[in-house]
Every structure is written in C-alpha cells, then in structure tokens.
Chain A
C-alpha cells in the first residue's frame, strides 16, 4: 500500500468511522466498474460527512464514484480513474412525507421498493417501476434516468422531481428547486442531475410529487401477426381520448424473454401490453373500448389478464433489461429515444442489422417513444464481440438517420474499448463540458463516465 493510499484510508476512517470504510480487496470487488476496483468504499452517515469526504478527495485529486444499490454501475463508460466508491447506504431515510400535500423528500440511498411500500400505506406511490426494483435506490434511478413503463402516463423524473440537494465536486452542499409542487425560483439545476451519472454532484435528497394508487386496474394483451398493425394500434390509441397508464410493444423474441410459467405471451406474435388504472368506471371504459381498437388493427387475439398473470407480465416488462442481460453472456442493450412515427422503419432496420451480424435480437418498445433493443449472442468470444461492435455502430447510424437518439445501457466491458456507449458527440457537448467544469472543476466526480468523456 502506498503512503498516499494509507493516508487516504485513515482520513476516510476518521470521517465516517472504520466500520463504514471497506478496504478489503475481496469485498471491494462488489464496487468494481468494468473491472476497475476502487481503493476504498465509504458510507457516510450524513451530508456533512459526505461533503468532508468530497473536499478531502478534491484536495488529494482522488476520483469518486457515487453508488447506491450498485445495480447499474455497468452503465456509462469506465471511469478514467476510480479511487473511492461513496455509498449512499446510510443515507436512506424518508425526510419528509406529507400525504395531504402529495409531496415527499427522501435521501438518495433509500430503495425504491422500500419507499413505495411506505407510500402505499398512505395509498400513494412514485411512478418509478424500474428494473432492479428490489435493490435500486432513488439516487441511482435518478442519476441514470431509469425508464419506467409508467412514463407513458406520468412522464419521466424531470416531470415529477420538485427539487434536489446534492454535494458538488468542491464539497459544497447545494440545492435547487423546492419542496412544494410548484416553484420557479432560480435555475432548475436538479434537471441537469437527472441522468448525469454522478458527474455533476452527489445527490443527497430528492423531493418528489407523489401520486394516488388507483383503486382499480386491469392489464390487456393484444397480439398481432406482424409489426405494422401493432404500431397502427398504438397510433390509433395515442390519437384517442383513452388514457392507458402504459403501452408496451413486445416483439416475438422479447415475448419469449418476458414469458414465465405464470403467464406466457402468445408465441411468435407481436404483442401490445396496455394497462388501464383508476376508478372502476374508467377501467371498465377501457375494457369496453380497447377490443374495438384491436379489432380495427386486425389483432389475432385480445385478452384481459388475471391478477396473477398481470403481476408476472408487468414485473417481467419492468425487469426486461435484467432478463435480457441474464439471457446472454454478452448481452448488449441499446435504448433509443424516437418519435412514434419513426418506430416502424427503425425497428425493421434494426432487425436487418441484427440479422446481418447474426445476432439474436429482442425488442421492447415504449409506445410514447422508446425502443429497448437487446442483442443476445449465446456466447461471448472475440467473434461475437466484433459482431456486437459492428451492430452497435450501425444502430447509432440508424438512430441518426431516423432523427432518433441512441445510447447503450448495458454491454460487455470489451465493447467500451471500441466505442462510446453514449454514441457520437453532439453540438451541445462543449456547453456540457463548461457546466461540468463549474460543478466539478477538479474532475473528481465519476470522471470519464459520461457523454463525451465528461
């Protein structure tokens, strides 16, 4: 151990207590990112401790990566340097929950499952039904801007995060936004932190709007022989007055991934999963009208699911990235932001690309404008990695040609040597770099993990 390292460790022990500093290399493997292992992991008990750790790191030029449930450390590029993993494990309290105001303030380390369980006691919830629900934390979900099927009805975190507190790369505890449902005082810096992968600040508190749990809900599956009618169905639905909470399109390969013993999606079909929630009369209305939409789009079948079937299917839809990742040793999951009208052409081009590169492909489409495409080669070797790289590059080109934006959410570390998971740089990169410099002038927060090497 170098003298510098031992000074670092003793300082971390001083700040947070030896019991909350992990130094054992074997234990530190749990904090590895793309094979890079930090020298230490520390779990501060308070914002003050965290700020002190960051100030120390800044003065010593040590690189930090914030982490929560560690479910998404594989996202982004490998850090350029990685000295200390800062865990939010001890910053996991509900700081304010005012059910009468439908507002909430929580520390970053609370898990979404624990939080939604607490909210449910008051009949409320956050529409963040995201992958890795059992261990993902609010901090990680926000920092990666995790997508939820409920985005269809509720928008993303940018639409219901009211404000945030965070510690900058210089160790200043800072906040923006507010705690009430409406505030336009000052710049919405918290919006920058959503999806910033820990590169601008370490999130310590997030204030949310909460929503009432629906008294009734029902989930429907319409299946089709081909992709075109599926997408016609989705378009008709989008133009209608109906208000489903989610509309997810599943291609035949994804249908296989999402099927379980509790519920099997029709084999070889393109399926649309929709859910209607709210007062029983609203759910009834959807149950009455949706079959007509399906029929007009020439659906092969339209069914309403039982509660058990629904739980299984929606759970697996939510966990699609995880199931896709588990289905292949070299799974590569690409997320596209795309306009609904561009979806059909982009899907067919992606299928061509996968076929040309002899890679199995499963696709889940969020009808409001996202495609999750999982390339799942059965083996991981030099040849499959080469084909994955080629396919990923073509995916980026396809996105460009369809005015879409793509990023690779998951891929083998080896691919990150060949390409940036964030895709080609854009015009606004220089501005993003200036912002990064303002918040983290010493470049110690997750250096190199983000878009354009930020």
Chain B
C-alpha cells in the first residue's frame, strides 16, 4: 500500500490508531475460521466521523475496506481478503442509551454482546441472541453475520432483535435506517443490512430490542445410549410443538473431549446427550419440562438430570459454549460446518454423516443446535497432510450436499464469508445471485466494501479450520 495512504490515515486518526508494521498486521490476518488474509493497514476509529473520513480516503484511493469486531467469526467475514484497510471497532464500544421502559438500547458496534445484558439485567432485561462467543464477540459482528446461538430456538436470531442502524455508506454518507419504533414504513433496510456481512455499508450504531428475563429457568441433561435415540427425541419434541428455549446435541465423542477440559459432569460412557433448557413462567416450565421428560423416556433416555442450581446450569453451558475450544486441543486443525436441515430429518442426517465419515476415514464429531436443525459437524484433520485435507473437504462437501438435498441451508448462523462463497450455487440460481448482486450494486457500486465475500468466484474452497501451530491451553478457561 502506498505509504501516503497510511500517513493520511495517521493524520485523520492519530498515530496511535493506525497499525502498519508487519508484525502488527499479522495479528489481524485471522478470525475464528482458518482463512488467512493480511490487511495493508489496521485502523481504530473512535467516532462515526472517523469512519466517514476513512471511507472517503478509501474511496479516493480505491482501496478495499473491511470492518472487524472481535474477530471471532467462523466464516472469514472480518478478514481483508483483498488487503486494504481493516477497520477495527474495539474503540467504538460505548453503550449510548438504555431505555428500559421501551425495552431498547442503542450501542456502538464494538460493544461486546454480553455487555449489553450486563448493563440491563439489574432491571430484569437482557439481550437475547447468545452466540457461544458472547463473552468476546461484538454486536457489530453479530449484525454483520446475523449471528445465532443456542437460545435462538425460542427467541430468534440477531435480526429479530435489531430495529435500527446508523451506517456509513461506501460513498461516505451517514444514513439512519429503521429506528426505535417497530415496522417503519418503507423498505426494511435494517432487515436487509443485518446479515449482509459488511458488504453493503459499515454499521456505526445499533438499536436493539431488550427482552424480559424469564421468571424461571430449568436445564435438563438427557443421556442416551445411541445417537438415534437422541435425534429422535429432538424430532419428536419439535413435532409435538414443544419449543424449549434451547435444545443442544452433543455426541459421545464431543462430550468426552469437552469433559476432559471443562469437567461439567458429562457422562463419559454415553453415545449422546441433549442439553435442553426451558424458561418462562414457573407454571409454563414445569409443564414443559414434564412433557420433555416424557419424550426423552419414550426414546430410551438412560437418565435425565435436572440442574440443581444456577451454578450447575452454568457449568453445563460452559461445556457447551466452549466445545470448539476443547476440540482445538486435539488436532492441528478441524473443519466445522454450519448446515441446516428440517428437524424431521435429523436422525437420518446424523446416520448419513456417520456413513460419510467412515467412507473418508474420519471420525466426525457432532455438537449442534438440534432444536433448530442447525448442524455443526466437526472433522479433525492435519492440513500438512495434503491427502487428509482433500478428503476432509470432500467429506464436508458431501455433508453439505445432503443438507441441501433435504431442503436445508449451507449456513444457519456463521455466515457465508469467503469460506462458503463457492457453496452458494448449491442453494441459489444465477438469477437469485444476480438479484443479490443488484442489491450490492445499489449500496456498494465500486465493490470496495469487504470484497471477495458471499459471492462465488468459481474457485473451490471450504470452511476449513487450519492451525499450523496448535496451541494447547495450559489451564482450562
């Protein structure tokens, strides 16, 4: 990159808000996926006006610009695929307004997801979307990827909780869309921008809905001797139209890995467990838990444990939410997918994944949002072995093709990013993609905003997590 651009950025933001040394840039070439892309310069705006000036400069020099929050994303969304300016929002991390009476909060994009809840729980409210990374991921990233989480089963994903945005357009214009009120007349630009993966505009302020904390919560751990019994339980819970707040599946392999790290008391000899949570009015959760217990028993659950207290509940969730981290201790790299299938197809799909794993010689771990049918098969492999890498990609491709064949989706919550852009044609026709390109053109005609994401190039690549230098944490988190 032209050093003039870096100097201009330093003039706009101050030297302490611009990184351009190679060793600094290396810190920003990763996210939670394995893709690697080094930006030419990293900047830390403090205000919307800072962002405007950065965008104007990028425009003048026709340099790509990519937004980034905490870098916890799982699809390469926050990587500067084509270099250029990486705009990191860690200094735009203020909660600007909390309006308990109207159940709204207005926050900057760098605010950490869980911090919104921490700021409002004293008044009996919380921010419902809860990605597993919620202790570190930021609301700007959540908005870009339309993030999910275990409790989206009942409460919906990010888009259901975002009502308005302030954005900086690729032209440098500042625009407000939506607002604090519901169903603003006009096209729902907020609904379009959430999940647009930073390719349409840069979000500088987010208006979110707050949710009343439930009166009571009950967490169940159902333990099974076979995977089929567990998946059939999920299918039947759904078919009986019981909607728990969360319904998570972990197979025996995954929970042994997790247990070795988190010590949550997961049974080491079981084939699968379901972590099911119900919340709401006291009367409602008692009735729901009783029904769920019936279904679990009908499908031969060996045992159903109920968390005694909030400490035990938190431990179970810690196991679930840190599972990917635990898996990372085992293998140089892993490949995690995000396909979605109809819940009625869960038992057959898990069997299919097992067959595919055997065919390619991998043990595939399964830990996922079962209640939503949102799978996260994990394939462990060593990327330094080219043959293994290729087999992992092929196995993953077959799993994804199966998801689409049964009417599902290539991504339920991680986003397309650049890992799944080549899979988009599995789901969408050229006309569908052209309509999306039309949308991008309306916002981002020069294509400078987060280029190389969502849309296929025609080059094959997968959602592969590679860690060339595996690091085993010395102590559990």
Interchain CB contact under 8 A, B181 and A184: no
Given A186-B436, A405-B181, A439-B435; A103-B187 close (CB under 8 Å): no
- A189 to B213 Cα, complex, angstroms: 32
- A405 to B188 Cα, complex, angstroms: 14
Interchain CB contact under 8 A, A182 and B412: yes
A320 in contact (CB, < 8 A)? no
A352 in contact (CB, < 8 A)? no
B183 in contact (CB, < 8 A)? yes
Within B233-265, the residues touching A (CB, 8 Å) are 235, 238-239, 241, 243
Interchain CB contact under 8 A, B185 and A407: yes
Within A435-452, the residues touching B (CB, 8 Å) are 435, 437-439, 450-451
Given A182-B157, A185-B427, A370-B183; A439-B413 close (CB under 8 Å): no
Q: In the assembled complex, how far is the CB of residue A201 from the closest CB belonging to chain B, in whole angstroms?
A: 8
A11 in contact (CB, < 8 A)? no
A266 in contact (CB, < 8 A)? no
Q: In the assembled complex, how far is the CB of residue A210 from the closest CB belonging to chain B, in whole angstroms?
A: 9
0/1 string, A417-441, CB within 8 A of B gives 1:
0000011001111011011011100
B198 in contact (CB, < 8 A)? no
B351 in contact (CB, < 8 A)? no
Chain B hits for A239, CB < 8 A: 100-101, 124, 212
Interchain CB contact under 8 A, B408 and A180: yes
Given A158-B191, A435-B442; A182-B283 close (CB under 8 Å): no
Q: In the assembled complex, how far is the CB of residue A240 from the closest CB belonging to chain B, in whole angstroms?
A: 8
Given A281-B283, A407-B185; A98-B344 close (CB under 8 Å): yes
Chain B hits for A242, CB < 8 A: 281
0/1 string, B152-171, CB within 8 A of A gives 1:
10001101100000000100
Given A185-B427, A188-B191, A188-B192; A180-B373 close (CB under 8 Å): yes
Within A171-205, the residues touching B (CB, 8 Å) are 172-176, 178-189, 191-192, 194-196, 200
Q: In the assembled complex, how far is the CB of residue A370 from the closest CB belonging to chain B, in whole angstroms?
A: 7
Residue of B188, B343, B372 near A191 (CB, 8 A) is B188
Spot the interface stretch: A24-32, A246-254, A337-345.
Answer: A337-345
Interchain CB contact under 8 A, A185 and B411: yes
Chain B hits for A158, CB < 8 A: 159-160, 188, 191
Q: Specify the chain B residue showing the minimal Cβ separation from A145.
A: B183
Q: Specify the chain A residue showing the minimal Cβ separation from B439.
A: A187
Chain A hits for B243, CB < 8 A: 212
Q: In the assembled complex, how far is the CB of residue A192 from the closest CB belonging to chain B, in whole angstroms?
A: 5
Interchain CB contact under 8 A, A189 and B192: yes
Q: In the assembled complex, how far is the CB of residue B112 from the closest CB belonging to chain A, in whole angstroms?
A: 21
Residue of B373, B415, B432 near A174 (CB, 8 A) is B432
Q: In the assembled complex, how far is the CB of residue A180 from the closest CB belonging to chain B, in whole angstroms?
A: 5
Interchain CB contact under 8 A, B184 and A405: yes
- A96 to B171 Cα, complex, angstroms: 43
Residue of A188, A195, A407 near B194 (CB, 8 A) is A188
Given A192-B188, A340-B102; A279-B431 close (CB under 8 Å): no
B332 in contact (CB, < 8 A)? no
Residue of B169, B182, B410, B414 near A156 (CB, 8 A) is B182
Top 7 nearest A-B pairs by Cβ distance?
A191-B191, A212-B241, A183-B409, A438-B438, A281-B283, A434-B442, A337-B181
9 A/B residue pairs, CB under 8 Å, sorted by A:
A102-B241, A158-B188, A185-B409, A188-B195, A196-B187, A239-B212, A241-B214, A407-B185, A427-B176
Residues of A with Cβ closer than 8 Å to B?
96, 98-103, 123-124, 145, 147, 151, 155-156, 158-159, 168, 172-176, 178-189, 191-192, 194-196, 200, 211-212, 235, 238-243, 278-279, 281-282, 284-285, 337-341, 368-370, 403-405, 407, 422-423, 426-429, 431-432, 434-435, 437-439, 450-451
